[in-house]
Structure 1
Amino acid sequence: MTRATLDFYYEFASPYSYLAASRLGPLAEAAGVHVEWKPFLLGPIFAAQGYSSSPFNVYPLKGAHMWRDLARLAERYGLPPVTRPEPFPVNGLLGARVATRLNDASRPAFSRALFRAAFAEGRDISDRTVVRQVLAGLGHFCDEVIDQAETQANKDKLRATVEEAQALGIFGAPTFVTADKELFWGNDRLEMALEHAVQIAHAPQAAAQ
């Protein structure tokens, strides 16, 4: 049987990526779906769309609704109350580089912890000290990891993920991409993405019967 897989593209400045990252692990495990966590940057993608900032800043009414929506959803999911980072959007570049540098086993826990620091604790995750503290709290040799994250090779790896996302047609975060390249955008599409991942993984076996 082909194993169901799902690519999870997320941006540390994205509030809805925070919700999705907080929920994804148990849901994917229950569905039997292997998830590839893919940190990327929305800045180049927004720039290509003509935005110089988050659309939630460009359209204030949309932004105000988003923060209220986040508060409701956090309560619904049993998460801590959402704290708006200042400034918003927060600069998630260092976090994305560190997450890219970490191995597949370590990346999810770091990502969830950094999201919590930003959106549950209101901490400035662009601050190297904050990122060090998150890494140290997870048992990493924080200075070593950050130094490795800031090498040119690792920067190029993150840039390649951004280019990969653009080639797939990704325009926001979070975005989930299944093995057949179906794209599901938004925290509220997580369950649908997992269902589709399972469905296509079982399709060849079903066709053979």
Structure 2
Amino acid sequence: MARPPTLEFWFEFASTYSYLSAARIEALAGEAGVSLRWRPFLLGPIFAAHGWTSSPFNLFPAKGRNMWRDLAREAARLGLPPVRQPPSFPQNSLTATRVAAYGAEQPWIGHFVRAVYEAEFARGQSIAEPASVAALLDGLDLDGHALVKLAASEPHKSRLRVVGEEAKSRGIFGAPTFLTEDGELFWGNDRLEQALAWALGERPAGVR
């Protein structure tokens, strides 16, 4: 039996549009017969390389206002709870990302990713504190304290730095980003379906 194609899902917990993708990507990939690889990473170092000290949605207020309105519309269209802005944006996602990087191949990864995003953008809660992340893990019947501690230890802590360098080397500049096995890059929640189709070998007319 042939191995199913794989799609990499590069996401950042501070990314609003990654929230929309995380809510639906697992089901869509399963329906399409595409294997999903969860790739949590931090956008901060990539933004810093461009000289940005914060999210572009903060640096350009008009863009930020439109993003929050667009996020509300898209969440409603997808049947997600009403969007609630967290106490700060973007949030420090280091602890949550470390846990996701540690558990990227675990069966609970999808549940954890969605739990973090729902806490952040559906309930407007802070995800920055290790205790908050541990509580979300506890809610999934996992040992939150132990997992947060383990994810912050070496060599797991250094894994994010390696992943960040990989993201840069592969041309990733934002989140969500979807990468197919042949290296084709799709950026943005609205490109998820196209990325899945490409992973399955479908090509638009005139594009190889």
Q: TM-score, normalised by structure 1?
A: 0.93
Q: Which residue of 2 aligns with 1:123?
A: 125
Larger deviation, residues 171-180 vs 94-103: 94-103
* Aligned mates of 2:198, 2:3 — CA distance in 1: 13
1:73-84 aligned within 5 A: 73-84=74-85
The residue type paired with residue 53 of structure 2 is: S
Q: Residues 100 and 107 of structure 1 are in contact (CA less than 8 Å); yes or no, is this contact kept in structure 2?
A: no
Q: Which residue of 1 aligns with 2:150?
A: 148
1:93-108 aligned within 5 A: 93-104=94-105, 105-108=107-110
Q: Which residue of 2 aligns with 1:112?
A: 114
Aligned length: 200
Larger deviation, residues 67-76 vs 79-88: 79-88
Residue 20 in 1 paired to residue 21 in 2? yes
Q: 1:193 aligns with which of 163, 171, 195?
A: 195
Q: Deviations over 1:168-206 (max 9, x none)?
A: 000000000000000000000000000000117xxxxxx
Q: Which residue of 2 aligns with 1:203?
A: none
Q: TM-score, normalised by structure 2?
A: 0.94
Structure showing greater relative contact order (alpha-carbon pairs closer than 8 Å, 6 or more residues apart): 1
Q: Deviations over 1:8-37 (max 9, x none)?
A: 000000000000000101110110000100
Q: Residues 5 and 200 of structure 2 are in contact (CA less than 8 Å); yes or no, is this contact kept in structure 1?
A: yes
Q: Which residue of 2 aligns with 1:167?
A: 169
Q: Secondary structure at the match of 1:7?
A: strand
Q: Deviations over 1:38-77 (max 9, x none)?
A: 1000000000111000000000000000000000000000
Q: Give me the CA root mean square deviation.
A: 1.0
Residue 177 in 1 paired to residue 179 in 2? yes
The residue type paired with residue 74 of structure 1 is: A
* Aligned mates of 1:7, 1:103 — CA distance in 2: 11
Q: Residues 17 and 188 of structure 2 are in contact (CA less than 8 Å); yes or no, is this contact kept in structure 1?
A: yes
Deviation at 1:125, TM superposition (A): 0.2
Point out 4+ residue stretches in structure 1 off by more than 6 angstroms: none
Structure 1 unpaired stretches of 5+: 201-209
Q: Residues 12 and 115 of structure 1 are in contact (CA less than 8 Å); yes or no, is this contact kept in structure 2?
A: yes
Deviation at 1:103, TM superposition (A): 4.8
Q: Deviations over 1:125-160 (max 9, x none)?
A: 012221111000111111110110110211111111
Percent identical: 51
* Aligned mates of 1:35, 1:42 — CA distance in 2: 21
Q: Secondary structure at the match of 1:199?
A: coil
Deviation at 1:2, TM superposition (A): 3.9
The residue type paired with residue 91 of structure 2 is: V
* Aligned mates of 2:131, 2:95 — CA distance in 1: 11
* Aligned mates of 2:104, 2:65 — CA distance in 1: 36
* Aligned mates of 2:162, 2:200 — CA distance in 1: 27
The residue type paired with residue 16 of structure 1 is: Y
Q: Identify the structure with the greater helix proportion.
A: 1
